[in-house]
Amino acid sequence: MKTTLKILRYTRPHSLYFVLAIICAVISVSLTLYIPVLVGNAIDFMLGKGQVDFVKITEITVKIAAMVALVALFQWLMGHCTNVISARTVRDMRSDIFRKLNRVPLSYIDAHPHGDLISRITNDVEAVGDGLTQVITQLFAGIVTIVGTLIFMLSINVKIALVVVILTPMSILVAAIIGRMCAKSFRDQQELQGEISSYVEEIVGNQKTVKAFAFESRSAEEFGEKNKRLFKVGLRAQFAGALANPCTRFVNNMVYAATGIIGAVTVLNAFMGMLTIGQLSCFLTYANQYTKPFNEVTGVLTQIQTALAAGGRIFAVLESDDEPADDDKKQIENVKGDIEFKNVRFSYTPEKPLIEDFSLSVKSGQQVAIVGPTGCGKTTLINLIMRFYEVQSGEILIDGVNTRDIRRKDLRHLFGMVLQDSWLMHGTIMENLRYGNPDATDDEVIAAAKLSYAHSFIRKMPHGYDTVITEGGSNLSAGQKQLLCIARAMVLNPPMLILDEATSSIDTLTEIRVQKAFRKLMQERTSFVVAHRLSTIRESDIILVMNKGNIVEQGSHEELLSKKGFYFELYNSQFSFDG
């Protein structure tokens, strides 16, 4: 019920179409209910041999044709209004969930499979829209039909009308029981659809790796297993949903049969009030129309249950906690680049401590290299500086100001980032290079591209800087993508830099050139360089050697080699070989 109310709240801005749909439903159903009266009158004008009044029947036939045409018109208008409500609700819901994903902490995105989140924005929202269309259409017409037929039946014969009213709720009871039985199956079905979307997104996005490791058959088996589970759950859900309609139809047909029997007896024996054959025909039509809304609702029960299950998944995202607002924080200006860590402690999960009692002081303009084995906390340190994750205790200071006291967007604009995983959006090369600095001129962008040695290959592209990059940069090599990311950081021209294996996909000759460009860019800028290839960080002012979340060694390249400690072992392991 809560999910239903939340979905209906999204329809409030479109209340005008709501009112129009109700008006159209009232007119359409009223005209539909008037047609049986005309049919009944026509029947009463053709009882007995030689008693057919063709003039009256012709007049009634013309009226029926006009009523049918008007019913079709107002049903179309009601359908149009309903579709507008549904489409705009889906649009608003999809926009809200996308904006929500931009407001949640990075930890929320990391904790949920990306394919599942995509499925909620696409499949689940679409399921809500389909369910909403069915509910509004059936609800409006259904309520008006039930009220209208009830009034017409009471005006013809009160006692027979009461028989219909007493028997009909049996179909509602049957539908409610079946609906409760299949609700869990539909929730499981939506969750499994999200799981499959996540798996497909992962396999398709890493197809080169799948083929390189001959993982095709294994991935097909895993997908087949997930698909089989979805088949079983989906079959159970669809069977339960499909069971509702024939069950309620059976109950409603019993009502119809009871009405026909009692009505026929009334006509023949003239008890329980006078009833003509035409009125009986009209009454039977009303009895059928009275039960029709119950049949229609149970007929779309599958879509309704799917929509409610999908709505629950959508609102689970929409109601998650936002990243705390910090518009009241300080705006830091004229940054020199002094960075200090004071007794920082952080862990992704409480039972697995990662960084404990970490302290470090970096002066403006210094280049800090961070090295260590996989999982030692190198990238985590970068995430803490950028406030993608918050420290659990301790402080990180920039020019003496706690980063918690600086607005996140201002803090993140202080850094230019080049990561090992290159990210490029669908758009032109020029648009991608301007991503961090939309106000940069063409000359500034081209100068940055030349400095990063990307200009030469950009000129060879079909349309130069106006060449459109496909989604994820699939029409570029890994090295070209990384050079563009480096150029994008240079266009931003930030006071501080973060380079996380920024040259891992570049050939040796280009790497030497780019390292020279980086040295120019890093002049008078505080820089953090996460490196696995230790040959690239020899000239760093400070090398932090991390292991298990702690700095185990610290110093220049020569100093650390002379100590013959952990760094010495790491360095020699990269340059040693078996004779």
Tens digit of pLDDT for each residue in 215-237? 888 888 888 888 888 888 888 77
pLDDT at 259: 74
User: Which residues pair with residue 355 across a beta bridge?
Assistant: 346
Average of per-residue pLDDT across 154-173: 73
Can you tell me whether residue 397 is helix, strand or coil?
Answer: strand
Evaluate if residue 578 carries a pLDDT over 60: no
Share of the chain above pLDDT 70, in %: 90
Q: Mean pLDDT highest for which of 107-116, 184-193, 339-348?
A: 339-348
pLDDT at 433: 92
Evaluate if residue 579 carries a pLDDT over 50: no
Cβ-count burial of 245 within 10 angstroms (0-12 exposed, 13-18 middle, 19+ buried)?
Answer: buried
Cβ-count burial of 204 within 10 angstroms (0-12 exposed, 13-18 middle, 19+ buried)?
Answer: exposed
Tens digit of pLDDT for each residue in 237-291? 777 767 766 777 777 777 777 777 777 777 666 544 466 777 777 777 777 777 7
Contact present, 108 and 389 (Cβ < 8 Å) = no
pLDDT at 272: 47
Evaluate if residue 43 carries a pLDDT over 50: yes
pLDDT at 92: 92
Angle at 401 between CA 556 and CA 109, to 5 degrees: 85
CA distance 228 to 196: 11
Which has more pLDDT, 333 or 301?
333
Average of per-residue pLDDT across 164-186: 71
CA distance 435 to 243: 54
pLDDT at 122: 86
Average of per-residue pLDDT across 556-578: 78
Which has more pLDDT, 124 or 139?
124
Distances (CA, A) of 193 to 98, 100, 199: 19, 21, 10
* CA neighbor of 386 nearest in space, from 370, 407, 355, 366: 407
**Model confidence pTM above 0.75:** no
Q: How many CB atoms lie within 10 A of CB 62?
A: 11
Contact present, 458 and 465 (Cβ < 8 Å) = yes
Q: Mean pLDDT highest for which of 38-47, 298-307, 489-498?
A: 489-498
pLDDT at 298: 61
Helix then strand then coil, % of the chain, to nearest 5: 65, 10, 25
pLDDT at 261: 77
Of 154-158, 381-385, 506-510, the one with minimum mean pLDDT is 506-510
- In the structure, what pLDDT confidence band is assigned to residue 465 with cuts at 50, 70 and 90? very high
Is the Cα torsion angle 100, 101, 106, 111 positive or negative in sign?
Answer: positive
pLDDT at 577: 47
pLDDT at 72: 92
pLDDT averaged over every residue in the chain: 81
- Which residue shows structure tokens 């906690």? 321
Q: Mean pLDDT highest for which of 110-124, 140-154, 320-334?
A: 110-124
pLDDT at 305: 76
Find the helix or strand (DSSP H, E) in which 507 lies: none
Tens digit of pLDDT for each residue in 59-115? 888 988 998 999 999 989 988 988 898 899 999 999 999 999 888 888 888 888 887
Strands 526-530 and 496-500: parallel
Tens digit of pLDDT for each residue in 392-441? 889 999 988 898 888 888 888 888 888 777 788 888 999 999 988 888 89
